Structure 1
Amino acid sequence: MKNWWTGVKTRLRQDPERGDVPGWVLVTLMTAGLVVAIWALAGQLLEDVFRTAMERVLGA
């Protein structure tokens, strides 16, 4: 069992395609920040656009 686990750890360390967790965390946080900033700046306008579009679709 120990040899198997050692082999797994060795393969994982040598795999260049393991992923970039800190990079993905940064991308996720930056995306969330952009959404919050856009929402804060243009929230009312986006709400009006959505409401108008829904009224046109529903015929209200």
Structure 2
Amino acid sequence: MTVLPLFDYGDTIYRSACKGALDHLDVLHHSAIRFATNAPYRTHHCDLYSLANWPSLET
């Protein structure tokens, strides 16, 4: 999946971002996983990470 490298590329920059900006990135990250796995909207983010085998942005 080519979405994950885009998030990984910017991790050194967004590590110093404010909490509000990080919250927006989390929403975008979850949406990307839902799109890539075709998971329903109400799927919990922990389940999304295990379904896609992607790390969270916090790790």
The answer to whether TM tops 0.5 is: no
Which has the larger Rg?
1
Higher helix share: 1
Identify the TM-score tier after normalising by the shorter chain: 0.3 to 0.5
Give the alignment's TM-score, normalised by structure 1.
0.36
Query: Bigger relative contact order, structure 1 or 2, given CA contacts below 8 A and separation 6+?
Result: 2
